[in-house]
Structure 1
C-alpha cells in the first residue's frame, strides 16, 4: 500500500512532499464590460450588428474568444509560492502599475 503522492506546485513546478504544507486554489477570471462602445447605453441594433460582424470576421476561433471571457484554473501551490500569490493579489491597485 502506498501513501499520498507527491504534488506539484502549479507556480514553480517544485514537487511538494506529502509531509509538507501545501495550499489548494481555484482561480476564475471572468471578463466583463460595462459599456459596449462609444455610444454607451444608447447602443443601437446596428451598433451591435457591427460588433458581431467584427467578431465573426476576426481571426480568433469561438474557443479563443470564450477563453478570453472565462478562464479557470485550480491546483496546489507550495508555501513560498503562496506568499507571492497573496502579495500579488493583495497589492493596492494604484501600486500595481501598468501591465
Structure 2
C-alpha cells in the first residue's frame, strides 16, 4: 500500500502536466518497442514507465521493500537486457534481470 502511494506521488507531477504518456501494453511489448518508447519519451514519462515496471516486478516477486539507492541502477538492467534480446517480451526480460 505504501509503495503504491509512493509511485502515485512520483507519477502525479507528470500526470498533472498532462504529458503525452501513451497507454502501453507491456505484456505484449517487445524489447525493441520498449527501447524505442523510452528513447522517444520525456523524462517525466520515463520515470512513470520505470516506476510502473518496478512496481509490477514488486507485485510479481512479493518484494515490498523500496531501495532508494538502487532506483537509478534499476533502469539500466531492463534496458541492457532488452538491448541483448530485442525480440523478447519486455516483461520476460525485466523479470529475468529485476527479480532476485
TM-score by length of structure 1 reads 0.25
TM-score by length of structure 2 reads 0.25
Name the larger-Rg structure. Answer: 1
More helix by share: 2
